[in-house]
Structure formats: structure tokens, C-alpha cells
Structure 1
């Protein structure tokens, strides 16, 4: 069992993101998860990420607010408690087009060791 208090979460900067403050809730620490890490992102109005892709899947869970996600010429708005799985290699872009902060959990596998 590994308990980590919110006050202990460390900030991180994600590449190709803007208008966002990220905190690592779990991962990359002794006793923590062995196959993925969990981030908490707070996107200001107009904040977002991409377009880009990763070689691994990830999961987004919107906790509060809304986030527009675009991929393959499609667009959807995720709202509180909506989630999505982004498959490996899928190019996507996200943007908070609302006037409220969007709070999101992100679950990402660790990069391959090499």
C-alpha cells in the first residue's frame, strides 16, 4: 500500500502543453505503482495540448469543467466524469474552450526501459 497526500504531489511540465498546471499524484516513487503514473491537470480557459501522439495509450478523466478533444477530423466535448482512452499513435489535440478551469486525471504507462 502506498499513500501519497495531495500536499506531497510534485508539479511537472508536460511537453507541448500550454495554460496548464500538472501535479503527479502517483508514480515514479518508491512503493508507488509499477506500471503507470497518475497526473492531475488543471487547464485554464484556452489551455490545451497537442497536436501530438504517444507510442502508448493513455486515459483522460474530466473531473470538473469541460475539455474539447479533436482527432481524425472529429471533435467531442468531455464533461465532468466523462473519460476517454487514447490509443497508441493516435494524433489528438485538446483545448479548454470554456471560461472555467478544467480539472482532469491522466493515467499514463511508464515509458519503456531502455
Structure 2
């Protein structure tokens, strides 16, 4: 068993993430993972990511507040406990348009893992 206490989760600094704090809960710096890793991003009001694609699928769950997810062609607002999946290669941008801090859970495959 690998336990990561939220207040001890290692921070990481992904490119093109603005006014955000990102920590890993499992995988990478937070411990071993064979198939997926998980992290939490805290997004300040006005915080956002650039519109970009990843070769790996992504799963998001909003834990607090609201987060706008844009694919460039479509945009939707996710509220507490709403989730979405982004396909490999699908562009996405996240944005917090509200006046409150938002928190979102991310789960992604570990690069090179097989389903």
C-alpha cells in the first residue's frame, strides 16, 4: 500500500498552467504506479491552462467549485462531482471563471503502460 497524505503530496509544475497549484497523489514522485497516476490541481479565480493536446487520455473530476473545460470546438462547465474524459490527442483547456477557488482531480495512464 502506498499512502500519500494530501498535505504532503509532492508538487509538480506542468507547463502552460497559470494560477494553479498541482500535486501528485499517486504515481511519479508520489510513489509506484503501474497503470495510472492521479493528481489534484487547485485553480485560483482566473487560473487556466493553455489549449493543448496530450497523447494520453485524461479523466477529470471537479472536487470543489466549477471549472470550464474547452476542447476548442466545444466548451462546458463542470460543477462539483461532475467529470469528463478527454481522448488521446484531444485538445483541452481548463479555466476557472468564478470568484471561488476550484479543485479538480486528474487521472491519467502512466506513459508506456498497457491497458
Give yes or no for TM over 0.5: yes
Aligned length: 113
Number of the residue aligned with 1:9: 9
**TM, length-normalised to structure 1:** 0.91
Shift in Å, 1:32: 2.9
Number of the residue aligned with 1:40: 40
Shift in Å, 1:2: 1.8
1:82 aligns with 2:82: yes
Structure 1 residue runs without a partner (length 5+): none
When the two chains are superposed, the root-mean-square deviation of aligned CA atoms in Å is 1.7
Q: Structure 2 CA distance, aligned partners of 1:4 and 1:69?
A: 27
1:68-107 matched pairs, under 5 angstroms: 68-107=68-107
CA contact (8 A) 2:62 2:103 kept: yes
**TM, length-normalised to structure 2:** 0.90
1:44-63 matched pairs, under 5 angstroms: 44-63=44-63
CA contact (8 A) 2:24 2:30 kept: no
Cα deviation digits, residues 57-91 of structure 1 (max 9, x gap): 01010000001111142110000000000100111
Cα deviation digits, residues 25-74 of structure 1 (max 9, x gap): 11125863211111110000010112000001010100000011111421
SS of residue matched to 1:7? helix
Counterparts in 2 of 1:41 and 1:30: CA distance versus 1, 3 Å: closer
Q: Structure 1 CA distance, aligned partners of 2:59 and 2:20?
A: 17
